[in-house]
Chain A
């Protein structure tokens, strides 16, 4: 195992950074998209509700791999014709973002629904518009309540980023596959890769637990 690690360390490290990069982009992208679709789903406008519900149902009910291959095999060639090259990394990260955003939308929507309607009524009666009340009063409280579930989604996201391996995304998993093929030592290669994934996911788990503890009991 040590010899694989020593020999392929630069390659593994490259993949490790690609996985982190893809995960960070997808994390922020899916958090923003998920929040937008969650708010659309609790709005009083029927059209925005239908758009959001459709989006969420489509993306959380199709396998991530299918979404990613769709972008890689169909959207990428079309985009290339109009001068927008989409490589494996981009296709994979887009797929990961859209897929995760559907789950995050559900997490935040249920967070919003768990905040008493008296918060919204108090805010709009105080002169705030519905949007302002959502932004300053309801959403901050909904995020706090959603922290444990968001943590799960973020950890899943990092693990799901291995989908990049299927579209030549040059991530950790992609490099692991190639190393395993060269060395004929799958067991040790994937063991090393598992440790690399843990290096990313464990701090996320720990940090989300820490946040949860900090907000426990009060809404500070």
Chain B
């Protein structure tokens, strides 16, 4: 982890019509930091993470990602997205491409990576997520857990500076969750990539993250070191939330 900021929110506001989805968000995530974002559903976690690569536009405040100002008209959003990967709850694999093509497409088109090297990196990544034997399969032939591991490999193939995870295990059958979390743990331990993970997996948060951000009703209520957060949650909302999820 370094002292240089990767993602900075300054008084960010987001509305959907009259609904105030993000309220005066202030956050600073350093390069290489592993941060977990938790909170009850409807608290704005997904909205927040989706603003970082421009899938949602902010209405006010400043959002800096890798030095780029997202609210500025001069910023080329494609440059940010090239360096900031995203893993979705519902995988969002390309339905018209094989597993291998899902991984190789963006590096080929966006990075102009030579075909041999592209293929080699893609196969290494598939091997890393335990799916080398599924290279030729289409997405609709994979299980949910397999799809999510391919989606992670697809993001990694771009060698991003930061990787965003939007509830990556929420749509999975319980027996599939472990495999996906293992892959994510490996990435967290092996790489100096910045990771921001929206999740309800508290054990994953405890084992992997440096920091926990707790949100409720569109606000950041707590932003503390992981150990501190789980030992001594400061707000009542966080205490309630933790007691609810931990008794499951």
A127 at the interface (CB under 8 A from B): yes
B197 at the interface (CB under 8 A from A): no
Query: A213–B88 Cα gap in the complex (Å)?
Result: 32
Interface flags for B165-203 (1: CB within 8 Å of A; 0: not) read: 000000000000000000000000000000000000000
Interchain CB contact under 8 A, B140 and A127? no
What range describes how many residues of B lie at the interface? 20 to 34
Contact residues in A for B88 (Cβ distance below 8 Å)? 118, 121-122, 125
Contact residues in A for B97 (Cβ distance below 8 Å)? 137
Query: A218–B92 Cα gap in the complex (Å)?
Result: 16
Interface segment out of the listed A6-14, A63-71, A128-136, A178-186: A128-136
B55 at the interface (CB under 8 A from A): yes
Interchain CB contact under 8 A, B94 and A127? no
The closest CB in chain A to the CB of B108 belongs to A136
Interchain CB contact under 8 A, A132 and B109? yes
Interchain CB contact under 8 A, A119 and B94? yes
A141-B106 CB under 8 A given contacts A125-B86, A219-B138: no
Interface segment out of the listed B13-21, B77-85, B124-132, B213-221: B77-85
The closest CB in chain A to the CB of B164 belongs to A125
B23 at the interface (CB under 8 A from A): no
Closest chain B CB from A127 CB (angstroms): 4
Interface flags for A131-150 (1: CB within 8 Å of B; 0: not) read: 01000110011001000000
The closest CB in chain B to the CB of A144 belongs to B96
Query: A8–B140 Cα gap in the complex (Å)?
Result: 56
Interchain CB contact under 8 A, A119 and B92? yes
A126 at the interface (CB under 8 A from B): yes
A81 at the interface (CB under 8 A from B): no
A86 at the interface (CB under 8 A from B): no
Contact residues in A for B155 (Cβ distance below 8 Å)? 125-126
The closest CB in chain A to the CB of B154 belongs to A126
Interchain CB contact under 8 A, B81 and A127? yes
Query: B96: which of A125, A129, A137 is its contact (CB, 8 Å)?
Result: A137
Q: How many residues of chain A get a CB closer than 8 Å to chain B's CBs? A: 20
Contact residues in A for B55 (Cβ distance below 8 Å)? 121, 124-125
Contact residues in A for B154 (Cβ distance below 8 Å)? 126
Contact residues in B for A124 (Cβ distance below 8 Å)? 55, 78, 81
Interface flags for B60-101 (1: CB within 8 Å of A; 0: not) read: 000000000000000000100110011010111111110000
Interchain CB contact under 8 A, B106 and A127? yes
A141-B109 CB under 8 A given contacts A118-B88, A129-B78: no
The closest CB in chain B to the CB of A217 belongs to B140
Query: B106: which of A128, A218, A219, A220 is its contact (CB, 8 Å)?
Result: A128
Interchain CB contact under 8 A, A122 and B93? yes
Interchain CB contact under 8 A, A219 and B78? no
The closest CB in chain B to the CB of A143 belongs to B96
Query: A220–B136 Cα gap in the complex (Å)?
Result: 11
A200 at the interface (CB under 8 A from B): no
Closest chain A CB from B243 CB (angstroms): 34
The closest CB in chain B to the CB of A117 belongs to B92
Which residues in window 130-158 of B have CB below 8 A to A?
Answer: 138, 140, 151, 154-155, 158
B4 at the interface (CB under 8 A from A): no
Query: A124–B111 Cα gap in the complex (Å)?
Result: 14
Query: A140–B110 Cα gap in the complex (Å)?
Result: 19
B105 at the interface (CB under 8 A from A): yes
Please, could you name 20 A-B residue pairs with CB atoms under 8 Å apart, sorted by A?
A118-B90, A122-B88, A122-B91, A122-B151, A125-B55, A126-B81, A126-B110, A126-B158, A127-B78, A127-B111, A128-B78, A128-B105, A129-B78, A132-B109, A132-B110, A137-B94, A141-B95, A144-B96, A219-B95, A219-B138
Q: Other than A122-B88, A125-B81, A137-B97, give 19 A-B pairs with Cβ distance below 8 A.
A: A118-B92, A119-B94, A121-B88, A122-B92, A124-B55, A125-B53, A126-B86, A126-B105, A126-B155, A127-B82, A128-B78, A128-B105, A132-B109, A136-B94, A136-B105, A137-B96, A141-B96, A219-B95, A219-B96
